[in-house]
Structure 1
Amino acid sequence: LGYSMGGALALELALALIERGREVSALILVDSLLPEPVADPRAQTERWARRLLDDVLHQDPASIDEALRQSDNPIDVALDHARSHGVLPPEISQADTRLLLERVRAHGLAFERYQPRPFPGPVLYVGATATAGEAEVRRDWGSISPDFSYREFEASHTTILTQPAVEYLADEIRNIITQVVTT
């Protein structure tokens, strides 16, 4: 089971277990997309600022598009916008937030080079409607297994782990596990 970038980690752990002779009944991916490589570092930083606003801070990046494009530091623009709208507590310093974001960005850079390997069993994807469409998910993950199934429900990438969406997610995972165990 892997959520977000953890989907790639779950796949690699499952494959490592299989290579060591262990049985892995299924791979469950929760709102896990594969990266889209970006060659231009500036465009990549802008993309991370947009993701920060949209996915993490639940702010619309379109409201500051021009500022993001013109800034030498789009991450700071995004953080300032979030702070001015009360999304970030004032006691969290810009330096601490920037350090955390740099770690997330470093993980993202490593993740952008990732190429998934084939998985020999069923792959079950449960995703949020606001993240990606079925066609994109099947393009990214469907190629790793001929036994791929897709389910989605009303949520975003971050709200999928909060009430009430997490209840539906838990039910879906229980159903998937029951289905895999009984077949």
Structure 2
Amino acid sequence: MVDVTIRGAGIFGLSIAWACASRGAQVRVIETVAIGAGSSGGVVGALAPHVPEAWNAKKAFQLESLLMAGDWWAAVEAASGLSSGYGRLGRLQPLTDAHAVEVARQRGEGAAALWQGQAEWQVVPATGAAWEPASPSGWLVRDTLSARISPRLALAALAEAVQAKGGNVVIGEGEDQGQVIHATGL
């Protein structure tokens, strides 16, 4: 018996399936083309924080999501035995001029107040190392909240984790049973 059918095996559909399966629901994911066949299969900068200014509910929700991502992906990896490619590595951003440096310092103060001490946004001097981005001002922003992920690895890990919890991932046609969630992007 299937409790929940999810149509679409992109990041949204597989994440819903994982959440349901982790809570004991019997899950079926139906994908007509291939896992990650839509936009979920491409590389995007979705794991970078909003700037810590003009704070609102959307930015607070995104911060909460970024902060919980490490544990969430670790659970997926533990269940699946596969790497998602997730890593909270931070990032360096070049600052072009004195005005950009001043704005970045103000944002650093905002991050200190809003990011709850769980990540940092700092203005640091560029060292000129070959791996650093070139900075016309000689200054960089270093944030420790940004992360990277491999979409293909993440989707494969999620699909395997859902199946490890007793879920079923169908490529092609399948029958809807239980509650039906459409996560096809259409």
TM-score, with structure 1 as normaliser: 0.26
Structure having greater relative contact order (Cα 8 Å, sep ≥ 6): 2
Considering fraction of residues, name the structure with more strand: 2
TM-score, with structure 2 as normaliser: 0.26
Larger radius of gyration between Structure 1 and Structure 2: 2
